[in-house]
Structure 1
């Protein structure tokens, strides 16, 4: 009879032996998202199913949502301590305790999803990410991309820089630091608290994702101004794995996990694009009060200046941050030259020749 092993109960430190190929193993995964969350939660459920299928039932994953473990912004520590074997979250959530983690989610004015995936898997991204997470007994893997995120929902229209002064906005990551530089009071709240905070006036604005997830959150019923993106051009979620747990697995099951992670990450990117396209059509049709805006040049210039200044400060203070920042910038410069004569030129040609699809 094969033994059912629950890692959190059985594993005791680095001296525990590796599992044998005859063991049936159950791992636990903590996610930042609420039970039944669309797109993000669909990704973890698809991951668990795929792991069991690919392993022929030898490996299974129990997914605990935020309402079970109660720590939606604590996944890093839960997996680091071994309370969970795996996690699904976003790397920039840990920037206050481990600042160099933020670069592996997305960066303002940075790379889009396809460029970021190329940096991870063909550039230096995976190696640099491992260098950041290894001291914390963690592996980090790309966990699904949202594509370009919208700039947020605002109660009032932003016409000048003065309109941002003292504005209270939920926004995570480096974008929050950039917005703080231009006068915004930024906070980070889990998704389950966002609507109530916006409705009560605790927040004046917030960003979440885009139509793929925003429609069901009903932010449009409180804040009608929907701003286009600049801050998260290709937001990558992450899978976290406790290194001791992962390293104890037989090699074929390690491969099962990494293949399943990479597969569902791709699936999430495509699902995000599809769901945003479908949901935006519904939003346009059913909620004509939504007013799409882009930040005026004065605001965009101030944001770019703040972004450059903060990046320069981080690079000067931390040699590893400097290497990551330069790697991102160098890769973006190279890939964007191709984007300019491919995707950007194609869209420009469509507009110039009157071929826009209405």
Structure 2
């Protein structure tokens, strides 16, 4: 450096340094993102695209993210593996899809009888949830961030009314994941059918009931044309998607762009929550107009008690095998005890008092 200064002079070296800084600021970083969602899976795929757009705008074009939907890579449930391997720099999916690979990742989507969406977001960003999520994903050499919430998912469409726990015995129902295990303990014959085959299976009486998401996504599936009993939710009160980031790819970004990327995640996640809320409201209005005989029901007390008992048994069994899972469950439970009191006297009481 001394020889360079002596040859070019201090001013020349400063000009070179400033030029290099400007070049570094203008450098474009091209990233690839794979999603679990297909082209028409709104608002899920919309959130992936929105995040990429936000990152580009907020970085003044330095972050350019190509979004590949599931029809591109043909592996909707392979996102975690592809991000770990570096095939994709970023993924957009949901933590409970990795239950079979790593049970410790399950709770970051939603848990039966757990936190609502606002409560869960508060837990992530102010109750230690985000730190626990990074701890759980560290072994996979990826980072994970909240990626959009569906809010409370409905309990499903049923051909017949569930009047007591006896009506669950031998009932054939499509309900996947952890909720399916809970239902199985209650006597339900649980099956998992591909989304494209659900309507036909339901129409032909292959199944008696099914769970999907909520009005915004159920309406396009047409389940309300077959069953008239629509049960309120219990199993996914706050289904949070996730943005997964390859750790090496993340660390190659300048700190400023790392911060831009994380902010784009957060903005896109919240945008999905409010978009889906709006879509649910509008879809529900359309459903009621088209099929006014739809009856919204809540499960009887004896059914809820059985489901809560089964849920606790399964959680305790899993926590006994994993100290980290036990820590995550305890964190969620303690935070819910604290925050639920406010939820009850604020939103819940307001709605109840002003119906």
Question: Given that residues 30 and 84 in structure 1 are in contact (C-alpha distance below 8 angstroms), is that contact kept between their aligned partners in structure 2?
Answer: yes
- Which residue in 2 is equivalent to 1:163? 167
Deviations 1:123-172 (A, max 9, x none): 11011111110101111100011111100112332223233233333323
- Which residue in 1 is equivalent to 2:332? 328
- Which residue in 2 is equivalent to 1:281? 285
* Aligned positions, number: 333
Compare the two structures and name the one with the higher helix fraction.
2
Question: Given that residues 147 and 235 in structure 1 are in contact (C-alpha distance below 8 angstroms), is that contact kept between their aligned partners in structure 2?
Answer: yes
- Distance across 2 between alignment mates of 1:46 and 1:344: 31
Question: Given that residues 153 and 233 in structure 2 are in contact (C-alpha distance below 8 angstroms), is that contact kept between their aligned partners in structure 1?
Answer: yes
Question: Given that residues 20 and 250 in structure 1 are in contact (C-alpha distance below 8 angstroms), is that contact kept between their aligned partners in structure 2?
Answer: no
SS across alignment from 1:38: coil
C-alpha RMSD of the superposition:
1.8
Relative to structure 1, the CA distance from residue 55 to residue 194 in structure 2 (aligned partners, 3 Å threshold; closer, same or farther) is farther
Q: Aligned runs of 1:65-76 on 2, under 5 Å?
A: 65-76=69-80
Relative to structure 1, the CA distance from residue 241 to residue 203 in structure 2 (aligned partners, 3 Å threshold; closer, same or farther) is farther
Deviation at 1:204, TM superposition (A): 3.0
Q: 1:338 aligns with which of 331, 342, 355?
A: 342
Deviation at 1:193, TM superposition (A): 4.3
Segments ≥4 residues shifted beyond 6 Å: none
Q: 1:291 aligns with which of 289, 295, 301?
A: 295
- Distance across 2 between alignment mates of 1:173 and 1:272: 22
TM-score (norm 2): 0.89
- Distance across 1 between alignment mates of 2:200 and 2:38: 15
Q: Does 1:150 align with 2:154?
A: yes
SS across alignment from 1:308: helix
Look at both structures and tell me which one has the larger radius of gyration over its CA atoms: 2
- Which residue in 2 is equivalent to 1:206? 210
- Which residue in 2 is equivalent to 1:78? 82
Deviation at 1:304, TM superposition (A): 0.7
Q: Aligned runs of 1:1-358 on 2, under 5 Å?
A: 21-189=25-193, 191-350=195-354, 356=355
- Distance across 2 between alignment mates of 1:72 and 1:198: 24
- Distance across 1 between alignment mates of 2:353 and 2:211: 32
SS across alignment from 1:342: helix
Deviations 1:249-292 (A, max 9, x none): 11122112111110011111111111111111111111224222
- Distance across 1 between alignment mates of 2:148 and 2:158: 27
What are the ranges of 5 or more consecutive residues in structure 1 without an aligned counterpart?
Answer: 1-18, 351-355
Question: Given that residues 224 and 287 in structure 2 are in contact (C-alpha distance below 8 angstroms), is that contact kept between their aligned partners in structure 1?
Answer: no
Relative to structure 1, the CA distance from residue 292 to residue 54 in structure 2 (aligned partners, 3 Å threshold; closer, same or farther) is same
Deviation at 1:313, TM superposition (A): 1.7
SS across alignment from 1:313: helix
What are the ranges of 5 or more consecutive residues in structure 2 without an aligned counterpart?
Answer: 1-22
SS across alignment from 1:127: helix
Relative to structure 1, the CA distance from residue 197 to residue 285 in structure 2 (aligned partners, 3 Å threshold; closer, same or farther) is same
TM-score (norm 1): 0.88
